[in-house]
């Protein structure tokens, strides 16, 4: 015979274990659930909205002809808004690199075949990033971001464009934009749930932007050292200055303090 009192105690002990296990599971799933709720809210809100666009932003006539305008919105942060800002940063990068490619080669640095290849390849990569961000936005029911980050454009790009006199100026501007993108995506990864498409994009794009930064830093140093001939593939490794080996990798941990606000370039 089974002692009914003992059996009751066993059941109680089993329930305790179950409760502890469920608490652990809940902790682990809480963020995923929050993300799902957020995504559902996004979908409902966006479905009820008529997408609007307003006001042209300028990067001169060139950009105005290619880009859809952007309005900064002060609505609550969400995955879609974060992705819209990310897409706007990518669109801005595409626009700036494209603008640079249209400058006289001696000014843009495109008279160097490696720099020319870098510009073309990087335009393509940023275009793919923007498309990927917009694809996820669409999956979440949001409005795609086809415009540029107007805040960065006005604060960073406009002043820099007016001062471009040579390749070093172009590199400096590109470096600023790439670094902002890398830092932003690291920071944004903390505001979206892991195992989501948004997180995976930030995790696989941030390293690529950081690679752009590393190469641009190295190029910048070689230009500053008046050694543009060393910007070559393959390089004359023996002739590279010692600092070329470290200038592109200044930190052990990539910072995110200069991340752009996640709601900086949302679409209403």
Partner 1 sequence: MNTRNDMQITERELHQMTADMDEMHHAVMPKLSSALDDIAEGIRHDLAVLSSIVQKETSRRSFIKGGLVGSGMLAGGAVLAACGGAASSSGTPTPMMNGSVDLTVARLASSLEVLAINTYDAALKAATSGSLGTVPPAVATFATTALGHHKDHRNAWNAALQKAGQKAQTAPDPALNGMVQQKLKMVSNVTDVANLALLLENVAAETYANGAGLLQSKANRLVSMSIAPVEAQHAAILSFVLGQYPIPNAFFPVKDARGPQDLSAA
162 touches partner 1 (CB under 8 A): no
Residue 107 has, within 13 A of its CA and on its CB side, a CA count of 12
Contact segment (CB under 8 A) with partner 1 among 53-61, 68-76, 119-127, 143-151 equals 119-127
Closest CA to 152 of 91, 99, 233, 61: 91
Among 235, 261, 263, 268, binds partner 1 (CB under 8 A): 235
Our CB check for partner 1 shows the closer of 143 and 247 to be 247
Distances (CA, A) of 86 to 4, 112, 168, 223, 264: 63, 30, 26, 30, 9
Our CB check for partner 1 shows the closer of 56 and 249 to be 249
109 touches partner 1 (CB under 8 A): no
248 touches partner 1 (CB under 8 A): yes
Among 218, 262, 265, 267, binds partner 1 (CB under 8 A): 218
Q: How far is the CB of 149 from partner 1 (least distance, A)?
A: 19
Q: How far is the CB of 213 from partner 1 (least distance, A)?
A: 7
Q: How far is the CB of 209 from partner 1 (least distance, A)?
A: 7
Is residue 89 within 8 A of residue 198, CB to CB? The reply is no
Among 46, 125, 145, 176, binds partner 1 (CB under 8 A): 125
* DSSP annotation string for 93-160: HHHHHHHHHTS-HHHHSTTSHHHHHHHHHHHHHHHHHHHHHHHHHHHTTPPP--S--HHHIIIIIHHH
Contact segment (CB under 8 A) with partner 1 among 40-48, 95-103, 156-164, 246-254 equals 246-254
113 touches partner 1 (CB under 8 A): no
Among 46, 108, 112, 122, binds partner 1 (CB under 8 A): 122
CA dist., res. 17 & res. 1, Å (int): 26
Residue 6 has, within 13 A of its CA and on its CB side, a CA count of 3
210 touches partner 1 (CB under 8 A): yes
Distances (CA, A) of 49 to 7, 79, 119, 142, 263: 58, 17, 38, 10, 18
Our CB check for partner 1 shows the closer of 31 and 268 to be 31
Our CB check for partner 1 shows the closer of 10 and 51 to be 10
238: which DSSP letter? G
């Amino acid at each position: 015979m089974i002692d009914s009192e003992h059996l009751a105690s066993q059941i109680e002990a089993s329930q305790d274990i179950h409760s502890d296990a469920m608490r652990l599971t809940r902790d682990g799933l809480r963020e995923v659930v929050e993300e799902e709720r957020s995504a559902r809210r996004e979908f409902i809100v966006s479905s009820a909205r008529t997408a609007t666009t307003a006001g042209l932003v300028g990067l001169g006539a060139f950009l105005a002809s290619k880009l859809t305008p952007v309005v900064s919105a002060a609505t609550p942060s969400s995955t879609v808004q974060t992705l819209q800002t990310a897409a706007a940063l990518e669109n801005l990068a595409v626009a700036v690199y494209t603008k640079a490619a249209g400058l006289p080669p001696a000014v843009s640095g495109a008279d160097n075949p490696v720099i020319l290849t870098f510009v073309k390849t990087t335009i393509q990569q940023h275009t793919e990033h923007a498309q990927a961000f917009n694809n996820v936005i669409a999956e979440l029911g949001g409005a795609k971001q086809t415009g540029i980050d107007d805040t960065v454009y006005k604060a960073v790009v406009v002043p820099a464009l007016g001062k471009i006199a040579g390749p070093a100026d172009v590199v400096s501007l590109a470096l600023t934009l790439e670094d902002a993108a890398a830092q932003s995506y690291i920071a944004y990864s903390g505001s979206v749930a892991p195992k989501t498409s948004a997180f995976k994009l930030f995790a696989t794009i941030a390293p690529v932007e950081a690679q752009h930064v590393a190469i641009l830093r190295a190029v910048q140093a070689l230009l500053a050292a008046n050694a543009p001939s060393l910007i070559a593939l393959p390089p004359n490794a023996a002739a590279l200055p010692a600092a070329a080996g470290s200038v592109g990798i200044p930190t052990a941990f990539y910072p995110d303090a200069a991340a752009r606000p996640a709601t900086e370039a949302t679409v209403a």
